[in-house]
Chain A
Amino acid sequence: MATDYATLKKGGFMRQKQKNNFSLRLRVVGGQMTAQQLAKVAEVADKFGHGYVHFTSRQGVEIPFIKLDDIDAVKDALAEGDVKPGVCGPRVRTITACQGSEVCPNGCIDTEALAVELDARYFGRDLPHKFKFGITGCLNNCLKAEENDVGIKGGVKVEWQADKCIQCGLCEKACRVNAINVVDGKIEIDRSKCNYCGRCAFGCPTDAYTTTPGYVVSFGGLFGNRISKGEAVIPFIDNHDLLLKVCDAAIQWFDDNANPSERFKYTIERVGEEKFNQAIRDAYNNG
């Protein structure tokens, strides 16, 4: 019987140079695995592989040197430890994330919860080409949001509260884009410069800023043969449901408009950036 490589690939089995050997890609969400999952992965790597795993560049885990004949036994063994196979090929790939606001002092959004949500919503969805989501919790961008087809970056929108301010000027100093000026005892925020990093608010000794968390969403990132930075269409989305609507619109637009084997960025360029931007703005405004 001929080996169905396409189906194997869809199921996370990457063909190796070595005949009938596969590197099995596992399903990882937001860069996290439980200790129980890791123990099972270790056991399977020992028993069916070469006793090691490979960590991919996008927070994935692969077990190399799985034999073709062992595939079903390996899947069954992994399932015992609640480990699922990942995917390769033209579909939504691993949703990557930094640790976010639940763990990191800099985090503005709960990246892990969002990764779990996007994973449930999109993971493995068949598309004209691979499609990557990456979620980073703040402007420090540890997760490199703009490398992804859709990059989500947490931030905060700030409002100055005059009555709490002691005029220390720390916010002006903390701002890296010079968006804050203290003029005659008042704080002026240049909204055209503000990048939503929140450093003014987080550094404020008297919490004289209110903060509204939200998302900066970029589209069309590439970091392979061609390198291109994803670009935002809406400057700041402060609503979770609107974020999902915008993501839905982006992925659907790609599905509707892309040629087979065409990455998102190329589709945007071929069809027209303005047309794509309009589709995103429509989803945002009509959400």
Chain B
Amino acid sequence: MSDLNIEIDEEVDITNVVCPVTFVKAKVALEELDDGQVLKIHLNDGEPVQNVPRSLKDEGHQILKLIDNEDGTYDLIVRKVEE
């Protein structure tokens, strides 16, 4: 699956905010999208990468991939799933 070329519809950077605004910012970005569109979330190591993916999953969205940028940040690829 990690070899798949996923088309990104929108990007959001949450490295400049701290918990719980990280999740809020990601959630707001997802709300702007249509069902099925894909968001790339740029986030920090530590609490954000530990908590944000789980919170998005709990909201019903589909996590597709986590890319380690090897600079203390990650890119999380999420597909919006509307309820």
Binding site for B on A (CB under 8 A): 105, 166-170, 173-174, 176, 199, 202-205
Contacts and interface: CB of A to CB of B under 8 A. Distances in A.
A168 B66 contact: yes
5 contacts: A167-B1, A170-B53, A173-B45, A199-B50, A203-B54
A243 to B, nearest CB: 27
Contact of A173 (B57, B58, B65, B66): B66
Interface in B46-65: 49-50, 53-54, 57-58, 62-65
B2 A205 contact: no
B58 A170 contact: no
A169 B54 contact: no
Nearest to B57: A205
A143 B45 CA distance: 28
B68 interface: yes
Grouping DSSP codes into helix (H, G, I), strand (E, B) and loop, the A interface class, with mixed when no group exceeds half, is: loop
A90 B2 CA distance: 61
A176 B57 CA distance: 19
A72 B37 CA distance: 67
B50 A169 contact: no
Contact of A199 (B54, B58, B62, B63): B54
A83 B65 CA distance: 53
Give the 6 A-B residue pairs with the shortest CB-CB distance, closest first.
A205-B63, A203-B54, A168-B66, A166-B1, A173-B49, A174-B50
A205 B68 contact: no
Contacts of B49: 170, 173
Contact of B65 (A166, A199, A203): A166
Contacts of A105: 58
A244 B13 CA distance: 49
Contacts of A167: 1-2
Nearest to A204: B57
A206 to B, nearest CB: 8
A176 B50 contact: yes
B54 A174 contact: yes
B68 A170 contact: no
A167 B64 CA distance: 10
B50 A168 contact: no
A205 B50 contact: no
Interface in B30-83: 45, 49-50, 53-54, 57-58, 62-66, 68, 74
B63 A168 contact: yes
A3 to B, nearest CB: 54
Contacts of A203: 50, 53-54, 57
Nearest to B78: A205
Nearest to B48: A173
A34 B53 CA distance: 36
Nearest to A205: B63
Nearest to A166: B1
A202 B57 CA distance: 9
Contacts of B2: 166-168
Nearest to B1: A166
Contacts of B66: 168-170, 173
Contacts of B63: 168, 170, 205
A168 B65 contact: yes
